Structure 1
Amino acid sequence: MTAAMPRRILSLCAIVAAGVLACAPASAFKSPNDAPAAWRDYSAMVKSRVQDWLSGEDEAARRLRASLDGGRQQRGTTTRFVARLWFLANGEVARAEFTGVDAAAVVELRALLLHRRIGAPPPADMLQPLHLQLSLQIENRASTDAGRG
Structure 2
Amino acid sequence: MLHGAAPAQSAAYHSADGVPAAWRDYALLVGRRVQDWLGQDSEQTRRLRMSLEARSQPNASPSTIVAHLWILPNGTVERVDLEGFDPADAEALRALLTRQEVGAPPPADMSQPLHLKLSLQAKN
Q: 1:80-99 maps to which residues of 2 (within 5 A)?
A: 80-99=64-83
User: RMSD across aligned C-alpha pairs, in angstroms?
Assistant: 2.1
Counterpart of 2:110 in structure 1 is 126
Q: Are the counterparts in 1 of residues 3 and 118 from structure 2 also a CA contact under 8 Å?
A: yes
Question: Structure 1 residues 131 and 137, CA, compared in 2 at 3 Å: closer, same or farther?
Answer: same
Unaligned runs of 5+ residues in structure 2 are none
Count how many residue pairs are aligned between Structure 1 and Structure 2: 124
Question: Structure 1 residues 80 and 139, CA, compared in 2 at 3 Å: closer, same or farther?
Answer: same
4+ residue runs over 6 A deviation: none
Identity within the alignment, %: 50
Unaligned runs of 5+ residues in structure 1 are 1-9, 24-28, 141-149
- When you count strand as a share of all residues, which structure comes out higher? 2
Deviation at 1:139, TM superposition (A): 2.7
| Distance in 2 (alpha carbons) for counterparts of 1:46 and 1:87 | 10
**TM-score, normalisation: structure 1:** 0.75
Q: Are the counterparts in 1 of residues 53 and 123 from structure 2 also a CA contact under 8 Å?
A: no
Tell me, yes or no, if structure 1 residue 79 matches structure 2 residue 63. Answer: yes
Question: Structure 1 residues 125 and 22, CA, compared in 2 at 3 Å: closer, same or farther?
Answer: farther
Summarize deviations over 1:28-68 as a string: whole Å, max 9, x none.
x5211111100011111101110011111011111111121
